[in-house]
């Protein structure tokens, strides 16, 4: 049951990330408020990682941006919150790894910040 639940959480994570990144390809003509929505969605996604990273610091003994879904998935896989597979692992790393591409945690974090910066510039350009 845990293995199936873990796969479901991973799939949910995929859907959220693909939707989040896919919004870059939705034309404004189809969704005029897309940039505003994408900006606020990005804030929720990024600040979730900041806040969750702070909340689990007592267990991890270090600060890293960590997605709540990553923690849930690692717990379902049998790893504790203090295990480095929780805080030194990211969904992005796992997704790229499944595609045969090894990326660092730093690169995954940089990718998140790049999306935040691009979306913020888009948002500021429509204001």
**Are residues 93 and 106 in contact, defined by beta-carbon separation less than 8 angstroms?**
no
Q: What residues make up the domain containing 78?
A: 2-15+41-126
Q: Does any domain span residue 28? A: no
pLDDT in tens, 55-101: 999 998 888 888 999 999 999 999 888 887 777 778 888 889 999 99
How far from chain centre, in Å, is Cα 31?
A: 23
Q: Does any domain span residue 53? A: yes
**Are residues 78 and 2 in contact, defined by beta-carbon separation less than 8 angstroms?**
yes
Q: Does any domain span residue 106? A: yes
Across the range 35-53, mean pLDDT stands at 96
pLDDT at 83: 82
- Angstrom distance (rounded) from CA 64 to CA 12: 22
Q: How far is CA 93 from CA 48, 99, 110, in A?
A: 18, 10, 12
Pick 20 or 79 by higher pLDDT: 20
pLDDT at 89: 75
Say which DSSP state 83 is in.
S
Q: Does any domain span residue 30? A: no
Q: Does any domain span residue 82? A: yes
Q: Does any domain span residue 54? A: yes
**The total number of structural domains that make up the chain:** 1
Q: Determine if the pTM surpasses 0.85.
A: yes
Q: Does any domain span residue 77? A: yes
Q: How many CA atoms lie within 13 A of 58 on its CB side?
A: 1
- Angstrom distance (rounded) from CA 31 to CA 25: 11
Q: Does any domain span residue 34? A: no
**Are residues 45 and 66 in contact, defined by beta-carbon separation less than 8 angstroms?**
no
């Amino acid at each position: 049951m845990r293995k199936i639940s873990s796969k479901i959480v991973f799939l949910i994570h995929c859907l959220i990330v693909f939707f989040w990144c896919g919004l870059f390809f939705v034309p404004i003509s189809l969704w005029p408020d897309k940039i505003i929505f994408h900006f606020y969605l990005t804030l929720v996604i990024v600040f979730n990682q900041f806040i969750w990273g702070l909340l689990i610091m007592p267990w991890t003994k270090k600060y890293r941006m960590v997605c709540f879904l990553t923690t849930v998935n690692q717990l379902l896989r049998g790893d504790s919150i203090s295990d480095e597979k929780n805080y030194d692992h990211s969904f992005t790393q796992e997704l790229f790894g499944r595609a045969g591409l090894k990326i660092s945690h730093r690169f995954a974090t940089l990718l998140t910040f790049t999306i935040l910066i691009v979306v913020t510039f888009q948002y500021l350009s429509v204001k």
